[in-house]
Chain A
């Protein structure tokens, strides 16, 4: 019935015994397995399988939610850690303050409200576009006209980041 399909039994047996013994052994094995096939075991109850599938689905859902929760918690912890590092990292006297908070806040990753997320993203994209345009304008002009503009840009960036962190 099923010669296990994966292997040539006689060939395998020949590695351990001579040809006639291998043939006899194969016959014994196949005859024994024919008896197993002749007396099939009962099938599992259909109701049991239905209950089992429902239990598995529930268990899988629980595990999936738990995994998402763990990932969200890790992402939040990472953002907090980065923010703390940014706040408390030692700075040299001439070094400007570095903001290391993520530009993509956890709130956007975790949110299920895609419409609101899209609006947020569109708003932030337009802000970034404006800043880019201003920077390009600055780069094109000479030093006198653009005096003081980088500070304004930096203030704008900080304001945008604050909005991001608020979610």
Chain B
């Protein structure tokens, strides 16, 4: 209860443009949002960019927040930013592929994935997360870092709760097998 009152006070502060309130929101959520972006991309520089984009968008959109779970609202924006990034990346990849075809170089998907994560050393979890399909991976990370309930996650993703549960179960079971295998 105390935390939600404190959060409501911070959000009011943000809505009136108070810099301290924004700074406190960053302190509260930057770690979780960064974790979400990092586990989705495996790239620290890219995660830095996405996190910056998220909080700048928060400043722009905070007046449109009408109550409800703040985490749900924030991670919805985070998810949109990630998808915007993917769309941009797909455009760039198409351009790159066209270039490669011109040079008659065989594209290697694995190599492409490694280059996407830059020079970061991938931990075991990251390697196995990358083996899951993109949608399941995002669902698992959304659940873990947003700490939302299944009902809220299902609403955020606009899919039935049973579908979200089933996908998450399959994904986490596979992740467990990969990690323990």
Contact = CB atoms under 8 A, between A and B. Distances in A.
Given A2-B147, A4-B149, A32-B173, A45 B22 contact: no
Nearest to A21: B169
A36 B22 contact: no
24 contacts: A7-B150, A12-B161, A12-B165, A13-B165, A16-B165, A25-B165, A29-B172, A32-B140, A32-B176, A33-B143, A36-B125, A38-B125, A41-B39, A44-B48, A44-B51, A48-B51, A52-B26, A55-B52, A55-B55, A57-B23, A59-B56, A60-B18, A61-B17, A63-B60
Interface residues on A, range: 35 or more
A49 B26 contact: yes
Interface of A: 2, 4-7, 9, 12-13, 16, 25, 28-29, 31-33, 35-45, 48-49, 52-53, 55-57, 59-61, 63-64
Contact of B169 (A28, A41, A48, A61): A28
A56 B125 contact: no
A57 B173 CA distance: 43
Interface of B: 14, 16-19, 22-23, 26-27, 30-31, 34-35, 38-39, 44, 47-48, 51-52, 55-56, 58-60, 123-126, 140-141, 143-144, 147-152, 161-162, 165-166, 168-169, 171-173, 175-176, 179
B162 A16 contact: yes
Q: Is the interface of A mostly helix, strand, loop or mixed?
A: helix
Nearest to B27: A49
Contact of A53 (B22, B123, B124, B143): B22
B123 A39 contact: yes
Contact of B144 (A36, A43, A61, A64): A36
A29 B15 CA distance: 37
A44 B34 contact: yes
A38 B38 CA distance: 15
B151 A7 contact: yes
Contacts of A41: 34-35, 38-39
B23 A42 contact: no
Contacts of A9: 150
A50 B82 CA distance: 22
Contact of A6 (B126, B149, B179): B149
A11 to B, nearest CB: 11
A25 B151 CA distance: 17
A9 to B, nearest CB: 8
B172 A33 contact: yes
